[in-house]
Amino acid sequence: MTFKQSSVIIALSILMVCAITQSVSALTLVRAGKPQAVIIVDDKTADTVKRAANELQSYVKQVSGALLPIISDASAAPSSQSLIFVGESAGTRERGLVSTDLKPDGYHAVVTTKWMAILGHDYSGVPIYGFRNPWRYQEVYNEDLKLGAFGEAGTLYGVYHFLENACGVRWYMHGKLGEVVPSRKTITIAEGKYDKAPDFTYRYTWFCDFNIAPDEAQWFRHIGYGAPAPVQIIHSFDLLLSTRPELKETHPEYFALIGGQRDFANLSTIIGNGNLCLSNPDVAKEWIAYIDDYFTNHPEQKVFALSPNDGMVKICECADCQAQLSPELGETGKFSNYIWRFVDKVARGVGEKFPDRLVGCIAYESYNSPPNKIDKLSPNTAVMICKSRGSYTDAEYHKKMDAAISNWRKKTVNVYCWEYYLYSWPPWRALPVAFPHIIAQDLKKIRGLSQGEFIESESCQPSDEPGQTWGHINYPGMAHLDHYITARCLWDADTDVDKLLNEYYTLFYGPAQKDMKQFWTLTESIWNKKTDGYPINVYTSAHIQELNSCLELAKQHTAKGSVYRQRIELIDNEFAKGRAKMFGTEGRKPPVMTIRQNDSIVHLGSNLMQPAWQNCNSVGFINKDGSPSDIATLLYATSDPEALLFTFISNEPSITKLKAAATKRDQITRPGLWEDDSVELYLSPNPDNRSDCYQFIVNSKGVLLDMHRSGIAVGKNDSKWNSHVQTKAWKESDRWIVQLRIPFKDLGITEPFAGKKLAANFYRNRYCGKSATQSCWAPIPTTPKYSPDLFGTLTIGGE
Amino acid sequence: MNICYKHSLWFAAILVLATSCAIATTATLKPGGPEDIGSGPTVLTHLYSPGGLGGLGYILGQPNTLTRNDRVLVRFDISKLLLQPKAAGRLMHAEMKFKMDGAYIRDISSTVEVTHLALDTAGGLVGTDMVREPAPVVGKLQVNEPKIVKYTLDVTKFVRSDLAKGRKFTSYRWRDLTAEEKGNTFLSPWFVRLVGDASDMPTLELTFEDGRKAK
């Protein structure tokens, strides 16, 4: 931590304290809900500075109720009012404040008893965007908001930090639901002078399209993402042919020789449009001219990409190119000397005219390792190292990437990282993934080694899901935490992540903070222990149950409709989708079963080898959430002219612990039947009127509870209703069996014709295990078992 | 061994066989329909296809230019066997028979691994079952000829385990270890196929001790 950064933290801490204690050496902006200050902003200032002033006014109003006027001329302010200078202006210059001495995106903040000023480096030119995605105009600039991802915005960040530290505002997630805006009738801050700049210059996360998703775009800046300019380091060799197709005819020798042909397409790369002969000196000259032209026309740009097309499996087969192969560097480095020698050569050429601009290449595929025949790259060469810190749970990979960064740093100071936070895409989509401590530790370690990072998140390709759209954060409940932590640590790599997380749990979840702390802590713990890349092997059933319990408790501890409950429900709804995907139950239709008709009466009995059971259909039970059950239950169903017949075979490794306390029919007083190991049936004779439903519970002693439900609401059942159902039950060494014979007449079915349908569900209630569990035929992710809409369908007759 | 009489029918046949000391019952099971046999890419498990991949069938490896690492899932319904108590104890022998076609293995010998899905698939075979662990190995087979070859694996202990746990199905997974290790270096289809025509499905042949004495 630098001295300046230390002073910032101390100063901000003082601000926080003074906001409460109202120190004498302080500036009061709002007192008892009345404005005590005016905001001064230059008319001709940058758009981000105007935004800073407007947001300062807006959030102070939301916090205190006081509307601080915005004016451009400090002399017009009433003498009774304090002055808040936002951005550089005549007022700040009169006071000797300038922003020229700051690092990129940095700002000064000065507070006296009469005025305060926040000013930084602020870009005011044309919108900055790159030559291809992910930096295209519409992706990184919103015309309505006049807000972009790029261009320095020191004053804006200064105001945001003021709102966080002096007013208590937080932006944990995009949109209103993601904001925390406390209520403070008086806002007073202590005198002080401090400045701040981010630890990493490049902080670009690709989680939204600015034009499509204004809420996400504003959140991007609120939490500190941004950069002076895009670091456009991506595949680019194709640019030469796509912008100058005549080269195929005029200079075929520029292109790689593969199998005796020039590669104008994809003879040597998976993504084609031309691979190049890099040993040809004219190719380097072409690129130097091309890049010179680009920088001449784009003075706002700092970096140009010079990287092979994706999936380069071969290089040019001419003798001069082949002589540059480096087999000694293995699969990750055999092309390194070849590619990086060329990049270095072009960079030196570009540097003659544009010494302050960078030419960059990705460290990727077989040019991933640093070249061993180049000691130092040209000072204007940049490398983009592809890495995934989410995979740092693999110690070997972590070690390898640390070494890569360190080794590349010996070749150039211009090291950038291409990060992957693709957890809103298969296979992790809608599942809880968080690794805040890895983020904090990694950024602390690479501060000073890396200039910053591009984070490829979920907007990299159109969503393939119905209802989800391109360019948004589609699973904000799951994704917001890692993005927030990353943004904060990119600004200050010394951030105390535990403190930050505790504050997040407290402010974001209110009365459910303990439950949600447990949820996210368990999520991180699961991630840290993962040993493979398939969710089905990472999240055990016990994990899922525990995570669900956290969310259920969190909901119980928050008021319905409150912001806290809404945030928890957002996460819960996403998780429900993730679970369904993981278990393959998403989109699964309710189950169906055909019940055969026997011509003669079928009697209950332990001989299950009789033809009625041998020829019937059967189903196996699953857990309520659709996942496989560890303890099997089979249901066999058949019918005769008068009744439906069911046999439940419940496998039971703890057969001696079976609970069977109820001994009387319809025993609903404790010990009730519902607390016994039992099987349970719901039958609706008319699938179009499922609220008319009959319920039967039978324990392992054959004791029956039968009810007629006339409505969905709990309490609208009729336990006094009695059927003529016969039951039989017996135990074996490792299973127990229950049979029921349910007369059609009891269900109001007068004619059980072939094709007659019933809506139904079946459960096994298991109490003899370590904890009570329920398995069923038709999965019901909701809590109540009586969920008629999710019933399956029984059809009488047929095969 | 003498065939005494046909005992019952489902999917295929159950026969009761007389031995010198006890009566043995045999059963031959097949997948009952597309819900019991399918394949798909492990890189995108939600693309698992019950009934196999279009006209290609049941694929192991790389059916197009991508590295998909396709695998095959098959299950057999053993619920009828559980109508009698202690079915697991009576199981004498279980063999799984199937055919594979190595026409697309590109001059490279493929090692195909068959594993047992150590879970209850009563809720249906789903794409994530293609990658779910644990899946103990039943056997590894070499496929190196571009013609249909018949294979037999002893699955007694796995079927016995599923019967003991009272599961409706005993389920298996096929994968091509070689194709998965190499990835799609050919950038073109490269796969082994499990034969699964309606008349030539994988089968599970079971032999039980019936508990009766031979006459």
> Percent of chain A scored above 90 by pLDDT?
78
DSSP assignments along A285-299, one per residue: HHHHHHHHHHHHH-T
Buried b or exposed e, range B21-47, using 16+ CB within 10 angstroms: eebbbbbbbbbeeeebbbbbbbeebbe
pLDDT at A580: 84
With contacts defined as CB-CB under 8 Å, which chain A residues touch B127? 584
B182 at the A interface (CB within 8 A)?
no
A718, A729, A522: which is closest to A646 by C-alpha?
A: A729
- Are both A551 and A603 inside the same structural domain? no
Residue type, A479: A
What pLDDT digit, counting tens, does each position of B73-120 carry? 999 999 999 999 999 999 999 999 999 988 677 778 899 999 999 999
Q: Map residue A184 onto helix, strand or coil.
A: coil
Identify the closest residue of chain A to B121 by CA–CA distance.
A628
- Are both A528 and A602 inside the same structural domain? no
CB count within 10 Å of CB A604 equals 18
pLDDT at A471: 85
Give the distance between the most distant pair of CA atoms in chain A.
Answer: 104
Q: Map residue A364 onto helix, strand or coil.
A: coil
Residue type, A564: Y
Q: Map residue A190 onto helix, strand or coil.
A: strand
- Are both A43 and A92 inside the same structural domain? yes
- Are both A605 and A561 inside the same structural domain? no
pLDDT at A122 over 50: yes
Nearest to A582 among B48, B128, B168 (CB): B128
pLDDT at A23: 43
pLDDT at A24 over 80: no
- Are both A686 and A559 inside the same structural domain? no
pLDDT at A671: 85
Q: Which of residues A155, A175, A198 is at a domain's end?
A: A198
Query: How far is residue A665 CA from its own chain's centroid?
Result: 52
Q: Which whole number is the average pLDDT over B181-196?
A: 86
pLDDT at A465 over 60: yes
B196, B107, B111: which is closest to B148 by C-alpha?
A: B196
pLDDT at A343: 98
DSSP assignments along A689-732, one per residue: -TTSEEEEEEETT--EEEEEE-SSSTT-EETT-----EEEEEE-
Q: Is residue A152 included in any domain, yes or no? A: yes
- Are both A572 and A634 inside the same structural domain? no
Structure tokens at A424: 């809103």
Q: The domain spanning residue A80 has which CATH number?
A: 3.30.379.10
Q: Is residue A700 included in any domain, yes or no? A: yes
With contacts defined as CB-CB under 8 Å, which chain B residues touch A585? 123, 126
CB count within 10 Å of CB B213 equals 9
Binned at pLDDT 50, 70 and 90, residue A13 comes out as very low
pLDDT at B115: 98
- Are both A548 and A666 inside the same structural domain? no
pLDDT at B108: 80
Residue type, A772: A
Could you give the CA distance from residue A54 to residue A218 in angstroms, rounded to a whole number?
Answer: 13
Could you give the CA distance from residue A26 to residue A18 in angstroms, rounded to a whole number?
Answer: 8
- Provide the chain B residues 131-150 that lie in CB contact (below 8 A) with chain A: 131-133
Could you give the CA distance from residue B16 to residue B26 in angstroms, rounded to a whole number?
Answer: 6
Structure tokens at A343: 């990049």
pLDDT at A217: 97
Could you give the CA distance from residue A632 to residue A609 in angstroms, rounded to a whole number?
Answer: 20
- Are both A677 and A537 inside the same structural domain? no
E-only strand ranges, A584-712: 592-597, 617-620, 622-623, 633-639, 643-651, 678-684, 693-699, 704-709
Binned at pLDDT 50, 70 and 90, residue A133 comes out as confident
pLDDT at A531: 83
- Are both A619 and A713 inside the same structural domain? yes
Worst-scoring range by mean pLDDT, A257-266, A482-491, B191-200? B191-200
Helix (H) or strand (E) holding A94: helix A90-94
pLDDT at B167: 97
| Mutation site for A-interface testing, chosen from B47, B68, B168 by largest number of A Cβ within 10 Å | B168
CB count within 10 Å of CB A720 equals 9
- Are both A529 and A633 inside the same structural domain? no
Cβ contact A614–B83 (<8 Å):
yes
pLDDT at A462 over 80: no
Helix (H) or strand (E) holding A85: strand A82-86
Q: Is residue A217 included in any domain, yes or no? A: no
What pLDDT digit, counting tens, does each position of A59-70 carry? 999 999 999 999
- Are both A723 and A622 inside the same structural domain? yes
Binned at pLDDT 50, 70 and 90, residue A716 comes out as low
Q: Do residues A404 and A368 lie in contact, with contact meaning Cβ atoms separated by under 8 Å?
A: yes
Q: How close A622 gets to chain B, by Cα (Å)? A: 6
Q: Do residues A190 and A161 lie in contact, with contact meaning Cβ atoms separated by under 8 Å?
A: no
Please report, for residues A692, B33, B172, the alpha-carbon distance to residue A795 in angstroms, rounded to integers and kept in the order given.
18, 19, 30
Binned at pLDDT 50, 70 and 90, residue A728 comes out as very high
Nearest to B128 among A584, A608, A609 (CB): A584
What pLDDT digit, counting tens, does each position of A537-550 carry? 898 878 888 898 89
pLDDT at A14 over 50: no
pLDDT at B214 over 60: no
- How many residues are there in chain A? 799
pLDDT at A9: 41
Higher pLDDT, A388 or B46: A388
pLDDT at A783 over 70: no
- Are both A790 and A742 inside the same structural domain? yes
Q: Is residue A655 included in any domain, yes or no? A: yes
With contacts defined as CB-CB under 8 Å, which chain B residues touch A650? 166
Could you give the CA distance from residue A159 to residue A87 in angstroms, rounded to a whole number?
Answer: 10
Which structural domain range is residue A524 located in? 507-582
pLDDT at B103: 66
pLDDT at A581 over 50: yes
B181 at the A interface (CB within 8 A)?
no
Provide CB contacts within 8 A for B127, sequence distance 6+: A584, B40, B45, B46, B47, B48
Q: Which whole number is the average pLDDT over A276-303?
A: 96
With contacts defined as CB-CB under 8 Å, which chain B residues touch A632? 120, 122, 165-168
Rounded to 10 degrees, the C-alpha dihedral B187/B192/B197/B201 comes to -150
- How many residues are there in chain B? 215
Q: Which whole number is the average pLDDT over A656-682?
A: 92
Q: Quote the mean pLDDT of chain A.
A: 92
Q: Which of residues A198, A221, A241 is at a domain's end?
A: A198
Q: Is residue A124 included in any domain, yes or no? A: yes
Binned at pLDDT 50, 70 and 90, residue A579 comes out as confident
pLDDT at A759 over 90: yes
DSSP assignments along A466-484, one per residue: TT--TTS-S-HHHHHHHHH
pLDDT at A469: 72
Binned at pLDDT 50, 70 and 90, residue A459 comes out as low
Identify the closest residue of chain A to B168 by CA–CA distance.
A620
Q: Which whole number is the average pLDDT over A604-608?
A: 89
Helix (H) or strand (E) holding B16: strand B12-18
| Mutation site for B-interface testing, chosen from A537, A613, A763, A764 by largest number of B Cβ within 10 Å | A537
Worst-scoring range by mean pLDDT, A156-160, A778-782, B181-185? A778-782
pLDDT at A308 over 70: yes
Q: The domain spanning residue A790 has which CATH number?
A: 2.60.40.1190
Could you give the CA distance from residue A601 to residue A558 in angstroms, rounded to a whole number?
Answer: 56
DSSP A245: T
Q: Is residue A228 included in any domain, yes or no? A: no
Could you give the CA distance from residue A590 to residue A638 in angstroms, rounded to a whole number?
Answer: 20
Cβ contact B120–A270 (<8 Å):
no
pLDDT at B94: 97
B57 at the A interface (CB within 8 A)?
no
Binned at pLDDT 50, 70 and 90, residue B211 comes out as low
Identify the closest residue of chain A to B79 by CA–CA distance.
A618
Could you give the CA distance from residue B76 to residue B6 in angstroms, rounded to a whole number?
Answer: 21
Binned at pLDDT 50, 70 and 90, residue A713 comes out as low
* A335 HSE (CA, 13 A, CB side): 24
Q: Do residues A204 and A105 lie in contact, with contact meaning Cβ atoms separated by under 8 Å?
A: no
Q: Is residue A236 included in any domain, yes or no? A: no
Provide CB contacts within 8 A for A684, sequence distance 6+: A690, A691, A692, A693, A694, A758, A759, A760, A788, A791
Q: Is residue A609 included in any domain, yes or no? A: yes
- How many folded domains does chain A comprise? 3
What pLDDT digit, counting tens, does each position of A315-372 carry? 999 999 999 999 999 989 999 999 999 999 999 999 999 999 999 999 999 999 999 9
Provide CB contacts within 8 A for B182, sequence distance 6+: B108
Could you give the CA distance from residue B103 to residue A530 in angstroms, rounded to a whole number?
Answer: 37
